[in-house]
Structure 1
C-alpha cells in the first residue's frame, strides 16, 4: 500500500489528480452531450423534413464510428476543422487542441446522438393532453418546455440517462491514448516505474466501480424526488 500513499514515497498524488481530470472530463462531456441531445430531440420531433434528415445522417455517423476514432479526429484535426469553419467568416485563428478539449468535444458529440434518441422517445411518451392543456391555458412555449414537458420527459428518460453516463464515464479512458494525463495514464506511468501494474490498474478499476456505485445511489434519491406527485397507473 506504500506505493499508493501520498508524498514522495507513493503515487497517490498522481492518481488523485488523474482521477479529478477523469471526473472533470466525464462531467463536461456529459453536459455537452445532454445539451446537444435535448436540442436535437426537440427540433427532430416531427419525424420528417430537412431537420429529420440531418438528424438521421448525424446519428448514423456518430453511432457507427468508434469513439476512439472520433477522439483522434478531434485531437489531430480539430484545429483544421475550426479554421475551415471560421475562414469564410474572415476569422484567422491559430488554435491548438488539447487532449482534454478533444476528449470533451468527441464524447459530447458522440453521446449526443444517443442522448437525442433517448430524449426524443421520452418526449413522445409524454401524454399529448399535456400539450393541449398548455395551449388551452396559453402557456408560453418556453415555460411549456421548461416546466411541463422536459421535467416529465426527464423522469421517463432517467434510466437511460444514467446508462449513458456510466458508459461515457468508462469511455473517458480512451482519451488517455491522445495524451491526457487522466487516471489511466497516471496508472500506466506508475506501473511502468514500479513494475507493479496489478496494484495501480486495480486502483484505477476500483475508482470507476466506486464512482458508478455513487452514481446509482444518487440516482435512487433523484428518482424518489421525481416520483413525487406521480400517481401509479390503475390496472
Structure 2
C-alpha cells in the first residue's frame, strides 16, 4: 500500500493548479492562433511577415528556453534598461501569469496552423451565400465562417491541448506550485521519489483520459446534423 505520509493533499492541490494553468494557457493559445491565422490571410505584408515569423520562431525554439527567457530574462532586461536611464526599478513577474501566458503564446503558434487549415477547409460558397443574403463581412465571419472553421479545427485543437497540458510541467522551474513541483517537494520530504513521481504520472494520464472523453463528446456535438 502506498505510504504518502500526509502529502497526498499536496498532489491534489498541484493537480488543480495544473488544470487551471492548462485551461488558461489553452484559451490564450486559441486567441493567439486566431490572431496568427488572421495575419497569414491578411493582405498586409507586415501582418503576413509577423505571423510567419511568430510561427517559425516559436516552433523552432525549445519551450523551456522561452519560459526562462520570459520569467527571468524579461524582468532583468527591463530593470537594466531603466537603470541605464537613471531609474531604479524592481520587476517581479507572477509565476502563474508568466506561466500560462508563455505556454499560451508558445502553443498559439501551433493553433495558428490548425486554424489556418480549418479556415481554408470552409467552402467559399458558404461565405458567398452569407453575403448574398445581406450579411456584412464581419457578421458572415462570426455566424458562418468561424463556427464552421472551429468545428473542423476541433480535432487539431484537441491534439494541441494534449501536448499543452503536459508542457505545464515545465512551469515547476519558475516556482509555481503545480503538480510536478509539488510532487518534487513531497518526494524530497519523504525520500520516496518513485512513489510521488509515479503518482504524478498517473494524474497526468488521468487528465489525458478525461480530456479524450470530453473531446469525443465535443466532436460528436459539433457534428450534429452533418451528413457523412
Instruction: Determine whether 1:209 maps to 2:208.
Output: no
TM-score (norm 1): 0.87
Q: Which residue number corresponds to residue 189 of structure 1?
A: 185
Instruction: Quote the residue 1:177 is aligned against.
Output: 173
State the 1:82 CA deviation.
6.8
Name the structure 2 match of 1:34: 30
| Residue 20 of structure 2, aligned match among 19, 24, 31 | 24
Partner in structure 1 of residue 55 of structure 2: 59
**Structure 1 segments unaligned to the other structure (5+ residues):** 86-91
Aligned residues: 223
Measure the CA separation in 1 of the matches of 2:148 and 2:176: 38
Q: Deviations over 1:82-108 (max 9, x none)?
A: 7899xxxxxx98542022222112111
For 2:118, the equivalent position in structure 1 comes to 122
Q: Which runs of 5+ in 2 are unaligned?
A: 82-87
Which residue pairs with 1:72 in the alignment?
68
In 2, the alpha carbon distance for the partners of 1:47 and 1:117 equals: 18
Q: CA deviation at 1:32?
A: 0.5
The answer for the alignment partner of 1:105 in structure 2 is 101
Spell out, residue by residue over 1:40-76, the C-alpha distance to the aligned partner (whole angstroms, 9 max, x if none). Answer: 2123214772211111111111010000001001101
Distance 1:178 1:150, change over 3 A: same
CA–CA distance in structure 2, aligned partners of residues 57 and 80 of structure 1: 25
Q: Which digits, 9 at most, give the CA deviation of each residue in 1:124-143, with x for residues without a partner?
A: 11000011111111213333
Partner of 2:143: 147
- Taking structure 2 as the reference length, the TM-score comes to 0.90
Measure, in 2, the Cα distance between the counterparts of 1:18 and 1:187: 8
2:84: which partner in 1? none
> Residue 10 of structure 1 aligns to a residue in which SS?
coil
1:136 aligns with 2:132: yes
Are 1:44 and 2:40 matched, yes or no?
A: yes
- 1:159 counterpart (144, 152, 155): 155
